[in-house]
Structure 1
Amino acid sequence: MKTVTITILLLTLTTSHAMVRGRDYMKEKVCQEFNVLGKEKFRAGAIIASSRKYSNATYEEIMNVVNEILSIAEKCCPEGADPDCYENESVALSAKSCRETAPFPKHPGIAACCTEVGLERKLCLAALKHPPKEFPTYEEITDATVCEDFARDPQGFADRYLYEYSTDYSSAPLPVLAASTTSYLSMVTSCCTSAQPTMCFLKEKFSRRSAVMLTKVSNKICSHYDLLGKERTKFSYITKFAQKSTNASLDDVIALATDASEVFSRTCNSTTDDSFQRELLEHTTKICSKLSTKDQRFDGCCKDANTLRAYFCIYSLPWAKSPNLPDFQTPADEDLCKNVMFPTNGHYLFEIARRYTYAPEALFSVMFESSKNVVTSCCNDTDPKACFAVKRPQMKAQIFNLLEKGNELCSEYTHLTFLEFKKKLRETYRKALPEATEEVLSGLVEQRSTFASTCCLMNAPPIYCGLQIKTGVSQTCSSDVCLLH
């Protein structure tokens, strides 16, 4: 599987070597992998790579890309092919991609790329990537249906599966995704030709549990990392650990959050087969060594002898109950500009997160941006002290108002049944809006309950929840019926 993964990466044309050495390097490597792997494995790798890159493209668009890639390899890689074949064909493909009628995945960055020429255009087009899906659409079908579809068209079944699975888990590291899809297709081939398909599927699915778990967890982790970047991933994990274990120490939380951001920065785009899993397991061991003695829930997860299952258990832990903690000291105005990282100061964030354990992480992103903007603005002002005197109380009031409401909403969602939760929402809105019609009240209740059911969860989809909160914050509303009340 390692060679397949290398091929996938080469096809994306995103390596630094390609930028430096250009067409000869790419031709040499692509043709080497095509000749070693053979047409079918090379083609499978191209489907995975293209589906992963263009996660919002149609099946037909992906297959058009794959067929073009395969056609170039078949034409230009055999011994005795014209030395300029690869360059000429790839230039022609770039030109075709720039046509309005091109049958390839659509992307808003294509127009800018098409103003470039030569290698720059090819590399620009190759670097385009769709954002990952936050809500997967792939659904497993019954074993009997799988075998019917496989028997009808084995190649078509495999192609469609690789496309659907890879677009859904496009942020999973390529080695993880390639290994998972390969093991699935191997299972289908074996079980659909077995004398006892049902028993075969039961056995194979049991053996694939770790691969499936790793694919799903790595996809969530890496899509989150790609969205936030290294610095903000660290502060995201400070929030997560503080909200899950309010007994954890500041030093332990910051050390683990730092380790998480370092691990994922190295492994989410790794080309080494076991890099992500190996480093994730090492990270899990560190979590258990620091937090299992501080928190019974962590201890329960860490008792699992399977370290991957232990991490999945830790990752899935819900929020801890909000404790009653005393106020904590925040930096004085005169100290803020000495440390430009104050808005994301680990101590400050840790103390807030462990006091508002039910507040959605997207709210902390709002806090991050608001604090950073105020500090930057005032530190660049001619009179920082006067600026802080005006802006800091406003910022603090807005942030803690949002955190209080978010904490209250998600605490109620967590502890009440869904019907009880909606009933309480309706009562709250009826008191705040006594003249509202039942239709208006029902609309508000559905809006808030939909938000809560999606975002009042640890590891909630960050883009969706972030947009929902930003939209709500920007709306003009009374303090009684704002977004999170």
Structure 2
Amino acid sequence: MKRILVLLLAAAFVHALERGRDYEKDKVCKELSNLGKDDFASLSMVLYSRKFPSGTFEQVSHLVKEVVSLTEACCAEEADPDCYDNRTSALSAKSCESDAPFPVHPGTPECCTQEGLERKLCMASLKHQPQEFPTYVEPTNDEICEAFRKDPKGFANQFMYEYSINYGQAPLPLLVGYTKSYLSMVGSCCTSSSPTVCFLKERLQIKHLSLLTIMSNRICSQYAAYGKEKSRLSQVIKLAQKVPTADLEDVLPLAEDITAILSKCCESTAEDCMAKELPEHTVKICDNLSMKNSKFNDCCQEKTPMDIFMCTYFTPAAQPPELPEAELPTNKDVCGNGNTKAMDKSLN
């Protein structure tokens, strides 16, 4: 875990490197020294894969190779003082070439009309839209071990790329943590005398982290698409549909709580943000809704907070009860500045 924390500290510095500001060179070099070349390259693969999920493995690999080479060369003791600025400028210029081997972005031509630091900043701001639906399918144990034994480093890079482009909306600490845990499992089990037994045991060990990463990617993707207020309204609607017998006073605090968690954790570099906040949220779900709905009551009997959260999340909408016709809010109620109470009430 300590190594993961160091990796996370490096995340900002990889982006700093893209920008090519000389005063950030010392930070980048310090992190390269702390991580070592291999871990720095691994982190770069995760970062650039999640940043450019539409890029091919070859394109992302080329970019990572350039970034690692640049960092290694310019952080050497004998490096020219202008190495950092010159190499980052050369990298942005190479990105503007028609046959550049890096991920393609429609905003690149506009960035290339600028010069110097402005071009670097423009390039650094480019990123692809995340994949709408994960398509990653894990190979069989035999396929995994065959690829690993043939080329351990190549297998690791390919896995980090594929997993990161599919689950890139998960918080970076979870993504880094899971990919490292998974590759550690593969390294242990593919050299074990009983790979099948090893994989069964190790998968149980990382099951929680896997589920947390996958669910975080799903809910953070929705939050990124909707924004804070629409996300909050969406949560109110979903809970009201799943537990139509609940009162607004039961549903609204839960919607506000999960929205606050997403706002806090989706872009956080804190290692335990989701792992700490989601279990606390499930306690509130069970306190507010388990006695209002039999399906939620069943969910709250699950063994772990992650299982409870997944159960309630995937619970379908209930058959709505027969109720008297609702009194709709007036235009004035709905359109008043900052007045969300009438809207919340009408959704419940």
TM-score (norm 2): 0.94
1:24 to 2:22 alignment: yes
Equivalent pair of 2:17/2:28 in contact (CA under 8 Å): no
Alpha-carbon distance in structure 2 between the residues aligned to 1:87 and 1:14: 10
Measured after TM superposition, the shift of residue 31 of structure 1 is 1.2
1:424 aligns with none
Of 308, 311, 335, 2:309 maps to 311
Question: Measured at CA, do residues 344 and 189 of structure 1 come closer, stay the same or move farther in structure 2, by a change above 3 Å?
Answer: farther
2:13 aligns with 10
Alpha-carbon distance in structure 2 between the residues aligned to 1:286 and 1:113: 47
Measured after TM superposition, the shift of residue 124 of structure 1 is 1.9
1:288 aligns with 286
Q: Which amino acid aligns with 1:71?
A: S
Equivalent pair of 2:236/2:347 in contact (CA under 8 Å): yes
**SS of structure 2 residue aligned to 1:345:** helix
Alpha-carbon distance in structure 2 between the residues aligned to 1:341 and 1:124: 38
1:251 to 2:278 alignment: no
Alpha-carbon distance in structure 1 between the residues aligned to 2:15 and 2:341: 37
Of 317, 321, 328, 1:330 maps to 328
1:216 aligns with 214
**SS of structure 2 residue aligned to 1:29:** helix
**SS of structure 2 residue aligned to 1:208:** helix
Equivalent pair of 1:230/1:261 in contact (CA under 8 Å): yes
1:40 aligns with 38
1:65 to 2:63 alignment: yes
Of 257, 260, 270, 1:272 maps to 270
2:135 aligns with 137
Question: Measured at CA, do residues 5 and 340 of structure 1 come closer, stay the same or move farther in structure 2, by a change above 3 Å?
Answer: closer
The Cα offsets for residues 411-464 of structure 1, whole Å up to 9 and x where unpaired, read as xxxxxxxxxxxxxxxxxxxxxxxxxxxxxxxxxxxxxxxxxxxxxxxxxxxxxx
Alpha-carbon distance in structure 1 between the residues aligned to 2:344 and 2:125: 34
Question: Measured at CA, do residues 14 and 40 of structure 1 come closer, stay the same or move farther in structure 2, by a change above 3 Å?
Answer: closer
Measured after TM superposition, the shift of residue 100 of structure 1 is 1.9
Equivalent pair of 1:180/1:215 in contact (CA under 8 Å): yes
1:114 to 2:112 alignment: yes
Q: Which amino acid aligns with 1:150?
A: F
Measured after TM superposition, the shift of residue 73 of structure 1 is 0.9
Equivalent pair of 2:16/2:28 in contact (CA under 8 Å): no
1:230 aligns with 228
The Cα offsets for residues 153-177 of structure 1, whole Å up to 9 and x where unpaired, read as 1111111111111111111111001
Measured after TM superposition, the shift of residue 150 of structure 1 is 0.7
Q: Which amino acid aligns with 2:195?
A: P
1:166 aligns with 164
Question: Measured at CA, do residues 242 and 337 of structure 1 come closer, stay the same or move farther in structure 2, by a change above 3 Å?
Answer: closer
Question: Measured at CA, do residues 303 and 84 of structure 1 come closer, stay the same or move farther in structure 2, by a change above 3 Å?
Answer: same
**SS of structure 2 residue aligned to 1:91:** helix
Measured after TM superposition, the shift of residue 67 of structure 1 is 0.5
Equivalent pair of 1:256/1:287 in contact (CA under 8 Å): yes
Gap regions ≥5 residues in structure 2: none
Question: Measured at CA, do residues 111 and 89 of structure 1 come closer, stay the same or move farther in structure 2, by a change above 3 Å?
Answer: same
Q: Which amino acid aligns with 2:281?
A: H
Question: Measured at CA, do residues 196 and 71 of structure 1 come closer, stay the same or move farther in structure 2, by a change above 3 Å?
Answer: same
Question: Measured at CA, do residues 170 and 323 of structure 1 come closer, stay the same or move farther in structure 2, by a change above 3 Å?
Answer: same
Higher RCO (Cα < 8 Å, 6 or more apart): 2
Question: Measured at CA, do residues 25 and 232 of structure 1 come closer, stay the same or move farther in structure 2, by a change above 3 Å?
Answer: farther
The Cα offsets for residues 257-294 of structure 1, whole Å up to 9 and x where unpaired, read as 11111110111011111112211222222222211121
Alignment of 1:386-401 (within 5 A): none
Alpha-carbon distance in structure 2 between the residues aligned to 1:13 and 1:260: 32
1:367 aligns with none
Equivalent pair of 1:288/1:302 in contact (CA under 8 Å): yes
- Provide the alpha-carbon RMSD of the alignment: 2.0
Measured after TM superposition, the shift of residue 33 of structure 1 is 1.0
- Percentage identity across paired residues of the two chains: 46
Equivalent pair of 2:334/2:343 in contact (CA under 8 Å): no
Equivalent pair of 2:96/2:108 in contact (CA under 8 Å): yes
Gap regions ≥5 residues in structure 1: 351-485
The Cα offsets for residues 356-396 of structure 1, whole Å up to 9 and x where unpaired, read as xxxxxxxxxxxxxxxxxxxxxxxxxxxxxxxxxxxxxxxxx
Question: Measured at CA, do residues 344 and 47 of structure 1 come closer, stay the same or move farther in structure 2, by a change above 3 Å?
Answer: farther
Measured after TM superposition, the shift of residue 80 of structure 1 is 3.6
1:93 to 2:96 alignment: no
1:154 aligns with 152
TM-score (norm 1): 0.68
Alignment of 1:439-458 (within 5 A): none
Q: Which amino acid aligns with 1:56?
A: S
Measured after TM superposition, the shift of residue 94 of structure 1 is 1.0
Alpha-carbon distance in structure 1 between the residues aligned to 2:196 and 2:297: 37
Question: Measured at CA, do residues 337 and 223 of structure 1 come closer, stay the same or move farther in structure 2, by a change above 3 Å?
Answer: closer
Equivalent pair of 2:333/2:339 in contact (CA under 8 Å): no
**SS of structure 1 residue aligned to 2:227:** helix
Equivalent pair of 2:296/2:312 in contact (CA under 8 Å): yes
Q: Which amino acid aligns with 2:8?
A: T
Q: Which amino acid aligns with 2:15?
A: T
Equivalent pair of 1:23/1:87 in contact (CA under 8 Å): yes
Alpha-carbon distance in structure 2 between the residues aligned to 1:302 and 1:343: 29
Equivalent pair of 2:70/2:84 in contact (CA under 8 Å): yes
Measured after TM superposition, the shift of residue 141 of structure 1 is 1.0
1:300 aligns with 298
Equivalent pair of 2:278/2:305 in contact (CA under 8 Å): no
Equivalent pair of 2:223/2:262 in contact (CA under 8 Å): yes
Of 189, 192, 207, 1:191 maps to 189
Measured after TM superposition, the shift of residue 343 of structure 1 is 11
Question: Measured at CA, do residues 35 and 14 of structure 1 come closer, stay the same or move farther in structure 2, by a change above 3 Å?
Answer: closer
Measured after TM superposition, the shift of residue 12 of structure 1 is 3.0
Alpha-carbon distance in structure 2 between the residues aligned to 1:348 and 1:283: 24
